[in-house]
Structure 1
């Protein structure tokens, strides 16, 4: 899936993935091909691998695999700052809240189950509307001020990876202009050193795309296919270019 391409339509959306599925089916399988079916979704600003099905029944089966968390999902992200420790699990519920101020808007945010009190973990009352959210992460490459992470979302809450990285690990994703600051919607502020490496003035930071890529999906055996299916999508050019400029090493791609 390319950048800035929504999956389904809505207000102000001129073109989306679901609109082009009939055309794509004909290109791949001939003029009489039936439309392809969506099996899951990716956020508009996320790039990477997507699963489509030629058959509606198969699409429902794959959707059930996603719903029951049987599909292994791996994402790559470039972050501002480096998480400590370099590998771990973020297990913090997420809830949607309204942000007050000049720019009233809604964001997903953390709703912790525990807090520290005199050195002890104390259980908190969590919002009934909070969703369980669990993310495994590992640093693949890092410098002093940025990192390339592999992320495995165990759950599938809206904007989970962006919220866990920014508010949970204090390492927002490069180009995340929504979750880099809780109080406002504004272009992400980057250090002078990072801007210099990227060849950008701060005034142009608003044009930085979100560096979050759905790298791999692993589907379990299904129907007549008795082996798991691994799908890998190469990184977009802008992502590779940013890795190079920031001095982050690109892992060997299988």
Structure 2
């Protein structure tokens, strides 16, 4: 069956409803040693004990009594973040350094902000990493998952060329996991729409554009974007989705998922665009719907064992799990780098009764 397209049809569906008043290579077992790095038994090892020991295709049955799905009540200090990042380096060799970034940590920002780049000098000194690391690919600020870095200019150039060529050939190179608060009507498909950045009442927000002018496209004010998605598991109104962005645009995945009425759990920016009338979802105007704490149904709050007044501390359940890397040397096949989801993500799956599919080694 051909995958459905959601280009401008999402807007047509919205109008209809309103009118009705409604990190490692997968060539072998997870190594705790890559290059010169040997990780202690900590967060990294804990991830692997859950994912490998229990099996990705089985329900997560680990004791999560000490794991919270809520972010700390106060921001982490520089020392706390450094300690966390020390156990989050999942690959290190002559080509790449890969970090499994926690949610809420921006990769870059203003000089006075705590960012991954501002922490890298101290982290490099502690772990004897190169001092001139540059970011190649990275999960967004609120997302968790892979950050790919390198200090080798030829490696950086080859990687950038590889990702550009892959996008031109419509070959996905990044795979995300997302826990969503609704199950999409179609269990797999493509979400395609034009997006643009708008400044709305002090917020820089990404909004879909139904019929952009040729002039706005030519000026690159509007970009045509595409995401492939697939429901991996669902239960009682919630779903675990696999997402593969085929284009690159800020907040693309979050905005696309609102168009199929399936906001990501912990999305306190764009989830407000999905409203409900008589149990049926509809889209509110993106240009006038401002960010707010996500509103969850009572049944979902009970399953998560949280109260609505604490939902603002719920982290974004969007994880950059997998990156395709260019073939190295004489190798003719590309490699796959993976980073397991953080403990809070796994506990949420456990609370919702969702499970991962069986992983494969194929790029």
TM range (shorter): 0.7 to 0.9
Deviation of the 1:144 alpha carbon: 2.7
CA contact (8 A) 2:159 2:326 kept: no
The counterpart of 2:304, out of the listed 198, 209, 214, is 198
Which residue of 1 is the match for residue 193 of structure 2?
Answer: 92
SS of the residue 1:240 aligns to: helix
SS of the residue 1:133 aligns to: strand
Distance, in Å, in 1 between the alignment partners of 2:172 and 2:262 is 26
Distance, in Å, in 2 between the alignment partners of 1:12 and 1:179 is 27
Q: Does 1:35 align with 2:126?
A: no
What is the TM-score with the length of structure 2 in the denominator?
A: 0.61
Distance 1:2 1:195, change over 3 A: same
SS of the residue 2:137 aligns to: coil
Q: Does 1:138 align with 2:230?
A: yes
CA contact (8 A) 1:140 1:150 kept: yes
Distance, in Å, in 1 between the alignment partners of 2:119 and 2:153 is 17
Deviation of the 1:64 alpha carbon: 2.8
Distance, in Å, in 2 between the alignment partners of 1:21 and 1:223 is 28
Choose 219-228 or 43-52, whichever is displaced more. 219-228
CA RMSD of aligned residues (A): 2.1
For structure 1, the residue ranges without an aligned partner over 5 or more in a row are 114-123
SS of the residue 1:239 aligns to: helix
Distance, in Å, in 2 between the alignment partners of 1:234 and 1:253 is 11
Q: Cα deviation per residue 1:201-244 (whole Å; 9 max; x = unaligned)?
A: 11111111000000100123244544311001101000011111
Alignment: residue pair count: 237
Deviation of the 1:10 alpha carbon: 1.3
CA contact (8 A) 2:172 2:245 kept: no
Distance, in Å, in 2 between the alignment partners of 1:159 and 1:8 is 16
Which runs of 4 or more aligned residues in structure 1 lie more than 6 Å from their structure 2 counterparts after TM superposition?
none
Choose 217-226 or 239-248, whichever is displaced more. 217-226
SS of the residue 1:50 aligns to: strand
Distance, in Å, in 1 between the alignment partners of 2:111 and 2:205 is 19
CA contact (8 A) 2:191 2:228 kept: yes
Distance 1:107 1:51, change over 3 A: same
Deviation of the 1:28 alpha carbon: 4.3
Q: Does 1:234 align with 2:234?
A: no
Which residue of 2 is the match for residue 19 of structure 1?
Answer: 118
SS of the residue 1:241 aligns to: helix
CA contact (8 A) 2:323 2:338 kept: yes
Choose 52-61 or 21-30, whichever is displaced more. 21-30
Distance, in Å, in 2 between the alignment partners of 1:81 and 1:24 is 39
Which residue of 1 is the match for residue 357 of structure 2?
Answer: 251
The counterpart of 2:206, out of the listed 89, 100, 108, is 108
Which is richer in helix? 2
The counterpart of 2:261, out of the listed 159, 163, 170, is 170
Which structure would you say has the larger Rg? 2
Deviation of the 1:19 alpha carbon: 2.1
